[in-house]
Chain A
Amino acid sequence: MTSPAPIAEPHDAAPRPDPVVVPALAIEGVSHAYAPRRALMDVSFNVRPASFTALLGLNGAGKSTLFSLVTRLFGIQSGRIAIFGHDISKSPGEALRLLGVVFQPRTLDLDLSLTQNLLYHAALHGISRREAAARSAELLGRIGLEERAGSKVRDLSGGQMRRLEIARALLHRPRLLLLDEPTVGLDVKARADIISHVRQLVTEQGIGVLWATHLFDEINPADDLVVLHQGKVLAKGPMNRVIAEAGAQDVNTAFMRLTGAQVMPGGGA
């Protein structure tokens, strides 16, 4: 954010008591099971502040389960999750305050206006009405929907709804943003818009982003990569290293090499 907000401190102004950079998101040894099925097995990885981390996995890899755990919709069965050092089980309030999230299913009130949706979200974070109105107007301007502020969300296109959901997730000025397959069902143009918008957030505002996807072309060479397959992390690290370690030329081949041996008959995409 460029404006001098009292809510979130500027990232580089705060003194750092420890030499280790606190990860925006730390996931340590997380496992999760639905009755007989194990959805996640000993998953560990970090998202660095001001980085774009792609969580790559096929449908059913466990991405949505992981998102539900980080957002506290599911209780953690084993392992630890922390957001900027705040353990989400021990101090959920402090952790969730720093987290913005865009879920895969749409979660907007279709019958309410764009502004009303944003004001409701702001209220849920305890942001005063006046402050919320100012931030909403600013964010709607940034996503080019200021003229639609009063219209019903129902009348927006799929891409516009997604942009609105991202704006909503940024309303309380989080420092970590989770997006669960945000481009699913969008056309090429809308996809490109959303990807470039989110990448801008990383470079300009220093937000740490975890972007779950199964689309290889959404990933850049500079990104961090976490390959999740059937509940397990198969590889993680900078994209180039992951590709090199898999002995591949590109991310597509690397992914196939990593997961290929384990794709069960009828499983996968």
Chain B
Amino acid sequence: MSSITTRDAPRGFSVQEYLTCLTGIVWREGLRFLHQRERFVSALVRPLVWLFIFAAGFRQVLGISIIPPYETYILYEVYIAPGLMAMIQLFNGMQSSLSMVYDREMGNMRTLLVSPLPRGFLLFCKLLAGTAVSLLQVYAFLLIAWLWDITPPAPGYLTVLPALILSGLMLGSLGMLISSGIKQLENFAGVMNFVIFPMFFASSALYPLWRVQEGSPYLYYLCEANPFTHAVELIRFALYGQINWISLGVVASCTIVFMVGAILAYDPSRGLARRGPAGGEG
């Protein structure tokens, strides 16, 4: 008969242990980020190119009327700042997912997954850590934008924080969901073309949707259905101390759906099994 008999009673995990694990994962992600200066610089350069060059050029072409949450006429730079903040998070979310594919290939993911804490919790921590990194990038961007005369009301810097956390989680879980379907590192270029660019351009990041509607009603519906639009609007309103309830609802529901989907879809064996077990057998 079976020699397997249970000996120790299971003792579960305390809240303290969960918290230690969470802070450890966020801390390590932060350390890794600090060691990758190029990643920080490129994360900042991208939106700044849009701000300094694209926005300056387009300032004369696009007139922005007074639309909520703005109470006066605004410069185009001011309009696209929230969109660029969301873009930072979009890239970061996809990049974190890239790092999960990369980690999986390099074996670092193994270290994470042999932790005895529940796997769903570990992945959630990983998402939160990625979001924390995106917050560093966004606030660095806001600082430079402030020097460029993009000055939202002071309390806005605080009220935008919860919006950024939520949108960061949504984009991070979307990235994780996509990464679970990626077979190889090289496919990330495909993600750029088929996910990042369409999401960014078919949104309210660069132009207000009423102007899109004038041009093409179909594109307008597409933009309205794009969760990224709602991330942008959530951030835009929060930056001016307001809540866009529809966007909040959309972003919150998408976060839940993407996150649950990502956690269910994340199966380390899938990535490893295709190539045979990592470790040189075969």
Contact = CB atoms under 8 A, between A and B. Distances in A.
A261 to B, nearest CB: 22
Contact of A124 (B6, B10, B21, B279): B21
Interface residues of A, number: 63
A105 B13 CA distance: 29
Interface in A45-98: 46, 59-65, 67-68, 71-75, 80, 82, 84-87, 91-97
Contacts of B253: none
A80 B3 CA distance: 11
B279 A125 contact: no
A104 B280 contact: yes
Interface string B28-66: 100110010000000000000000000000000000000
Given A26-B3, A104-B280, A180-B279, A86 B8 contact: yes
A73 B108 contact: no
B112 A124 contact: yes
A46 B3 contact: yes
Contacts of A111: 32, 35
Contacts of B279: 64, 67, 103-105, 180
A75 B28 CA distance: 27
B181 to A, nearest CB: 18
B245 interface: no
A85 B17 CA distance: 23
Contact of A85 (B5, B27, B108, B267): B5
Nearest to B275: A34
A125 B273 contact: no
A26 B4 contact: yes
Interface string B271-282: 011001111111
B32 A109 contact: yes
Contacts of A75: 267, 269
A201 interface: no
B183 interface: no
B277 A65 contact: yes
Interface in A143-185: 180
Contact of B114 (A20, A72, A85, A91): A72
B28 A93 contact: no
A129 B16 CA distance: 11
Contacts of A74: 268-269, 272-273, 277
A96 B111 contact: no
A126 B20 contact: yes
A112 interface: yes
Contacts of B10: 86, 91, 93-94
Interface string B99-133: 00000001110111111111100100000000000
Interface of A: 14, 16-18, 20, 22-23, 26, 28, 34-35, 39, 46, 59-65, 67-68, 71-75, 80, 82, 84-87, 91-97, 99, 101, 103-107, 109, 111-112, 116, 119-129, 180
16 contacts: A64-B279, A64-B280, A67-B279, A72-B113, A73-B110, A73-B113, A74-B269, A74-B273, A120-B25, A121-B111, A123-B23, A123-B24, A125-B115, A126-B13, A126-B18, A126-B117
Interface of B: 2-8, 10-14, 16-18, 20-21, 23-25, 27-28, 31-32, 35, 106-108, 110-119, 122, 267-269, 272-273, 276-282
